[in-house]
Amino acid sequence: MAPRVLCSETADLLLYGRAMTSYAPTRRGFLTAAAAVGGAALAPASVWRAAPASATAPFILKPTPPAYFKDFGTNAEMLWSSVEPQAYLTPQSRLFVRNHTSTPPIDRTTYALRVYGDGLATPRTEGEALSLSFADLQALPHHELTSVIECTGNGRSFFKSQQDQTVSGTAWTLGAVGTVRWSGVLLRDVLASLGLSADAFSIQATGLDDPFSTYGRVRRPFPIEKALDDALLAWGINGEDLLPDHGYPLRLVLPGWVGIASIKWLGSLEVSKTQLFSPWNTTFYRMTETGWPGDSPPLTVNPVRSAWELASGAVLPARPVTLTGRSWSGAGQISKVSVSLDGGESWRPAVLDRRSREDQGWTQWSVRWGNPRPGRYELLARATDDRGRTQPLVAAVNSQGYFFDAVVRHPVTVA
C-alpha cells in the first residue's frame, strides 16, 4: 500500500528548482519514506473496529501514541515535531482527529447514503429519500484531489498564550491540520446522476455518529455553488480506505473550507431550494461576541497559517542547521513565506521547497540557520497566499476561538 501512496504523491507534486537536491526522490528516498509510512502498520478498517484502543474511552479507534499525538479525549492533535520533512502527505495514521462524540462502527456492505429534499429534480421528503449503496457510488467516475484538512479552531491555544485572551474549545496548538490525497466521486456527478433542480440552493450533510449533546446529529449546510465546484464524497485517503476515525466508509470533503464542513460518516444529504440551518452554521463556527456583528456569516474558507516542524521549546545544537516548516491557505497557493530567527527583529524569505500542483495542498519550506549561538530564541514564520492574504501579527479574538491565523512565536533554545 505504501508505495502506491508515494507514487500518487510524487505525480501530484511540484518541486521548486532550488529544493531539488534536498527532496530528489532517489530510490533510497522512496524506500525510507515507504518504510516510514508502512511502519505505521495500517490495518483494515474491520480490525480497528474490532479492537478499540482503550476499554474506558474509545472515542478514537486508531492508535494515538504520545510520540505522534497530543490526546484531548475525543480529539487528538498531530505533533509537528513528529512530521517527517521528506513526506509531503500526512499519513492517515498520523492525521489529527476531531470527533464531537466518538467514532461509530459502520458496515460498508449495508451502508447507504440517503438523498432527499425539494432541490432535487423530483422533490422527495426525507421518508422518500433515494438510497445509494457504496457500490452505486463507486460506479460513478472516480476522482482524486489533494487538500488540506484543518479544524476551524486550529491554533486556538495561542489566543491565551500569545494574546492573553480567554476563549472556549479544544486548546489546539497548530496540529489540527494535515494534507492528504482524497479519492472518491465528485458531488456534482452524484447530483447530476440523481437529477438536480435548477433552483437548488443549499445542501445539508448529516453524519451517522451519535447526536452531539442536545444539538442532534452533526450536520452543516453549504451552498450549491460549492457542491457543484470541488466537493467530493471520499472513500479513500492516500490510496487507502478511510480509517473509521476519518469517516469510513464515506465522508464529504469541501476543499479549503473549515474542517466542520467535511462531514464524516456521511449519512444523508438534503438538497433544498431554500437556505438550510443547523447549530453548526448558526451557534457554532461563526464569529460571535467580542465585537463581531450578530449576523457575521458562517465560516467557510480557511485563513493562512504556518508551522515549524519542531516541538515548542525544541533544543537545537549550536551549529549550522536547516529548519523546515509548512504554510497553507484555504483560498489558494502560498506565494511567499518570511521567517525570523530573532523574535521578529529581522526577516528573510524562506525557500519554498514543495507544494501540490493543485490549489489546496500545503507548501513545504526551509531556512538555513548558518550560525546559531547558544541562547533562547523565538522563530516566526509569516506566509502570504496568492490571493494576497498575509498572516497578521494579532488574530481577531472571538469567543469560540476560531481562526487563530496570527504569526506564532515559536520558542527554541540553542545549546
Report the C-alpha gap between 92 and 5 in whole angstroms: 11
Closer of 330 and 372 to ligand MTE (Cβ): 330
Q: How far is the CB of 97 from ligand MTE (least distance, A)?
A: 4
Report the C-alpha gap between 144 and 232 in whole angstroms: 9
Q: Is residue 259 involved in binding Mo ion (CB under 5 A)?
A: yes
Report the C-alpha gap between 310 and 199 in whole angstroms: 49
- Which residue of 151, 187, 208, 323 would you call a contact of Mo ion, by CB under 5 A? 151
Closer of 133 and 399 to Mo ion (Cβ): 399
Q: Is residue 305 involved in binding ligand MTE (CB under 6 A)?
A: no
Q: Is residue 98 involved in binding Mo ion (CB under 5 A)?
A: yes
Q: Is residue 109 classed exposed, middle or buried when 0-12, 13-18 and 19+ CB atoms within 10 A define those classes?
A: exposed
- Which residue of 197, 262, 333, 400 would you call a contact of ligand MTE, by CB under 6 A? 262
Which of Mo ion, ligand MTE, none sits in contact with 95, Cβ below 5 to 8 A by type?
Answer: ligand MTE
- Which residue of 115, 218, 367, 383 would you call a contact of ligand MTE, by CB under 6 A? 218
Q: Is residue 193 classed exposed, middle or buried when 0-12, 13-18 and 19+ CB atoms within 10 A define those classes?
A: middle
Residue 165 cell numbers, joined: 485572551
Question: Stretches 94-102, 186-194, 292-300, 351-359: which one binds ligand MTE (CB under 6 A)?
Answer: 94-102
Q: Amino acid identity of 122?
A: T
Residue 402 burial (CB count, 10 A): 28
Q: Is residue 265 involved in binding ligand MTE (CB under 6 A)?
A: yes
Minimal CB distance residue for Mo ion: 151
Question: Stretches 255-263, 268-276, 342-350, 403-411: which one binds ligand MTE (CB under 6 A)?
Answer: 255-263
Report the C-alpha gap between 311 and 157 in whole angstroms: 15
Report the C-alpha gap between 329 and 362 in whole angstroms: 7
Q: Is residue 209 involved in binding ligand MTE (CB under 6 A)?
A: yes
Q: Amino acid identity of 229?
A: D
Beta bridge partners of 381: 339
Q: Which distant-in-sequence residues (6+ apart) come within 8 Å of 126 by Cβ? A: 114, 116, 268, 270
Q: Which distant-in-sequence residues (6+ apart) come within 8 Å of 357 by Cβ? A: 12, 13, 14
- Which residue of 98, 286, 355, 410 would you call a contact of ligand MTE, by CB under 6 A? 98
Q: Are 270 and 126 in contact (CB under 8 A)?
A: yes
Closer of 29 and 63 to ligand MTE (Cβ): 63
Q: Is 52 helix (H, G, I), strand (E, B) or coil?
A: coil
Q: Is residue 330 involved in binding Mo ion (CB under 5 A)?
A: no
Q: Are 371 and 269 in contact (CB under 8 A)?
A: no
Closer of 173 and 338 to ligand MTE (Cβ): 173
Q: Amino acid identity of 173?
A: T
Closer of 82 and 390 to ligand MTE (Cβ): 82
Closer of 218 and 341 to ligand MTE (Cβ): 218
- Which residue of 149, 231, 299, 412 would you call a contact of ligand MTE, by CB under 6 A? 149
Q: How far is the CB of 42 from ligand MTE (least distance, A)?
A: 15
Q: Is residue 6 involved in binding ligand MTE (CB under 6 A)?
A: no
Q: Is residue 300 classed exposed, middle or buried when 0-12, 13-18 and 19+ CB atoms within 10 A define those classes?
A: middle
Q: Is residue 61 involved in binding ligand MTE (CB under 6 A)?
A: no
Query: For strand 202-207 and strand 266-272, is the pairing parallel, antiparallel, or unpaired?
Result: antiparallel
Closer of 102 and 384 to ligand MTE (Cβ): 102
Q: How far is the CB of 114 from ligand MTE (least distance, A)?
A: 14
Kindly list the residues in this chain that would bind Mo ion in the complex (CB under 5 A): 98, 151, 259-260
Site residues (CB under 6 A) for ligand MTE? Answer: 95-100, 149, 151, 207, 209, 218, 246, 259-260, 262-265
